[in-house]
Amino acid sequence: MLDSRLRSFRVGLARSLRLRVLLLVLAAFVAVAIPAALSFNWLVNSTIVKLGTLFAEKQVLYDRSRGLEALMREVALAETLSRSPAILAWTADENDPEKRARGIAEMEHFRLAFRDRSYFLAIGGSGNYYFNDAKNSFAGSQLRYALEADNPRDGWYYKTAALGAGCQLNVDNDDNLKVTKVWINCVIREDGRTLGILGTGIDLTSFIQEVVNTHQAGVDTMFVDRFGAVQAVRDASKIDFHSLTKEAGNKKTVFQLVDSDADRASLAEMLRNVSERDGKVEARFVEVGGHRMLVGVGYLDRLGWYNVTFMDVDQIIDRGLFVPIGLLLALVMVAAAGLITLLFKRVVLDRLERAEAALAEVEAGNFTAKVDDGGKDEIGRLANALTRMAASVRDNTATLEAAVEERTEQLRRIAYLDPMTGILNRRGFAEAFAPRAAECAKRGVRLGLLLLDVDRFKSINDARGHSIGDTVIREVAQRLTVVVRKQDICARWGGDEFVVLVSDCSADTLADLSARILDTLRAQPVTVPDGTKLRITTSIGGHLLGSEEDLDAAAHKADLALYAAKRAGRNRTVMYDAAAHGAGGASRVA
């Protein structure tokens, strides 16, 4: 009785292909794969961490030396100028003509030594702001304007003065002078009194090009101030302009680049550590955009800045170093796979080969193929399922292909239409441009391009909310579709910008159409959901395309004309003019 039960158990076990496969695979991989994988991962990770940390320390030291070299000379010159007797005498008694002449002469002398060949001086008693640039544009009229305590844009002066003696660095855009620089602000003090602030600046673009940009793949260097506000980085959109006058919550900081609160706390601790220990460099791993990055931090004590370098270790460290270990593991796995293949050949592979041959016929389109196996285990049941599947595929293929084709066409339309307005989006416009340009070139006629921007749209969004702004965008799109001709193409270029491609165009045609668009958009106010009526106007930049001129070039010229329209007072059209553009913009204003 017992022997009969054992024989039945062995027969059932032999018929269970799943159990046999499971036991054999588990035995082979437990013996080989687990210790090999653990050893490989441990070796690779520990080596990468060690090499990455060493690289981070060297990179931070290198970036710190470049930053110091670029800025320390300028800081030293500005500090020297702030202690000049001529400057001290003048700022203490600004109205004395002799002292004023000596003070300006002293600043002009230092201007030639500054890298940027420019200087500024703000005198605390009067608030007068003096400036001269590399071209000596303001010789004899260095007094540019007067600071105002209640003007937020002049807040840099009062906040810097409150910090006491020394020099402070600030990345800022001077709205009066129309320049963006790394400003070096040195406080002028005598007998405990703050007499003013003077300094110079380094052009932000050149500073980033020389100091921050690196050709090392996977390395992104930036400089931040004591609050973590980004002062210099390759991507200018991350820079915290006007950081000196901003509240802490409004600053663009390095902490916003990392993903978690724990990593932000770790980064803040690193900044504290390096500032307390002269010359020390720290490096740790943090998550940035879901990717594990090594961050190195150093302190520029003379400037009060930190240099922070994010490094993608996977790009920096050559994984080829671990190829020998990988090859060894691969050989072990191949040996294990060979053993498993040998054991399973008769039980699994030969039968699967017959099933695969039948499946290849089905794949080639022969849906009448049958898999003859005869087994009653998993592979036998799989063979029967494949036979049934072939019949089902034959019936459903035609229906599926039709559905896929219909869905593909729907997706194509979605990709090229703007969901808010229903007109073409930028991608759709670009797709439509090429065939229309080819058609007009073949017929010997020209194309025109109009680039529209809703005037002061940001103020609508800020004051009324984005839902009101969306209503305005939809209304502009609707009016555009009414006024343009049937052969013209209009699209949403992005944000509050629209674009119109005018076919069979001449200069007069382009001017007439732009005039109609202006009149249509400003003729009636837009009624928003709360019943308010908003008057809207647009600025238009126009360009008559030359032969074989592509969309990028044409859009750039129309954009130049659009900016000229904005500068000329908005609510108008400016046509691009090549000669005028060389002088700084488009010239013909409609």
Distance CA 499, CA 423 (A): 11
Beta strands in 149-281 (DSSP E): 167-174, 179-190, 193-203, 219-224, 230-233
Residue 586: per-residue pLDDT: 47
Contact by Cβ (8 Å): 195, 125: yes
Over 60: is that where the pLDDT of 535 sits? yes
For the residues 356-383, what does the mean pLDDT come to?
Answer: 66
Higher-confidence residue: 336 or 99?
Answer: 99
Q: Is 492 helix (H, G, I), strand (E, B) or coil?
A: strand
Q: Which tens digit of pLDDT belongs to each residue from 35-88?
A: 766 666 666 666 666 666 676 666 666 666 665 676 788 888 999 999 999 999
Q: Is 307 helix (H, G, I), strand (E, B) or coil?
A: strand
Contact by Cβ (8 Å): 201, 97: no
- Which of 173, 170, 292 has the alpha carbon at shortest distance from 227? 170
Q: Quote the tokens at residue 36.
A: 């090999």
Q: Quote the tokens at residue 484.
A: 């343009």
Concatenated DSSP letters for 440-489? Answer: HHHHT-EEEEEEEEETTHHHHHHHH-HHHHHHHHHHHHHHHHHHS-TT-E
Sequence letter at residue 417: L
Residue 519: per-residue pLDDT: 94
Handedness of CA 518, 520, 523, 527 (dihedral sign): negative
Instruction: Pick the range with the lowest mean pLDDT from 64-73, 153-162, 429-438, 535-544.
Output: 64-73
Contact by Cβ (8 Å): 344, 21: yes
Q: Quote the tokens at residue 557.
A: 């010229």
Over 50: is that where the pLDDT of 587 sits? no
Distance CA 62, CA 311 (A): 14
Q: Output phi, psi for 332, to 5 deg.
A: -65, -40
Higher-confidence residue: 314 or 137?
Answer: 137
Over 70: is that where the pLDDT of 332 sits? no
For the residues 447-452, what does the mean pLDDT come to?
Answer: 95
Under DSSP, the state recorded for 229 is B
For the residues 104-129, what does the mean pLDDT come to?
Answer: 92
Q: Quote the tokens at residue 280.
A: 């020390």
Residue 109: per-residue pLDDT: 94
Percent of the residues in the chain that have a pLDDT greater than 70, as a whole number: 67
* Stated pTM of the model: 0.40
Q: Which tens digit of pLDDT belongs to each residue from 248-277?
A: 677 888 888 898 989 989 988 888 888 887
Over 90: is that where the pLDDT of 362 sits? no
Residue 10: per-residue pLDDT: 46
Residue 557: per-residue pLDDT: 94
Place of tokens 């165009």: 505
Q: Which tens digit of pLDDT belongs to each residue from 197-224?
A: 999 988 766 666 666 666 667 787 888 8
Over 60: is that where the pLDDT of 588 sits? no
Half-sphere CA count of 424, side-chain side, radius 13 A = 18
Residue range(s) occupied by CATH 3.30.450.20 in the chain = 215-319
Contact by Cβ (8 Å): 240, 229: yes
For the residues 364-372, what does the mean pLDDT come to?
Answer: 65
Run of H or E including 323: helix 323-344
Confidence at 559, pLDDT banded by 50, 70, 90:
very high
Higher-confidence residue: 211 or 196?
Answer: 196
Q: Which CATH class is domain 215-319?
A: alpha beta
Residue 374: per-residue pLDDT: 65
What is the pLDDT of the chain when averaged over all its residues?
80
Instruction: Pick the range with the lowest mean pLDDT from 70-74, 141-145, 180-184, 580-584.
Output: 580-584
Percent of the residues in the chain that have a pLDDT greater than 90, as a whole number: 35
CA distances from 212 to 219, 258, 283 (A): 10, 19, 18
Q: Quote the tokens at residue 286.
A: 């943090």
Residue 271: per-residue pLDDT: 86
Residue 16: per-residue pLDDT: 54
Confidence at 192, pLDDT banded by 50, 70, 90:
confident
Residue 52: per-residue pLDDT: 60
CATH superfamily to which 426-589 belongs: Reverse transcriptase/Diguanylate cyclase domain (3.30.70.270)
Residue range(s) occupied by CATH 3.30.70.270 in the chain = 426-589
Over 90: is that where the pLDDT of 342 sits? no
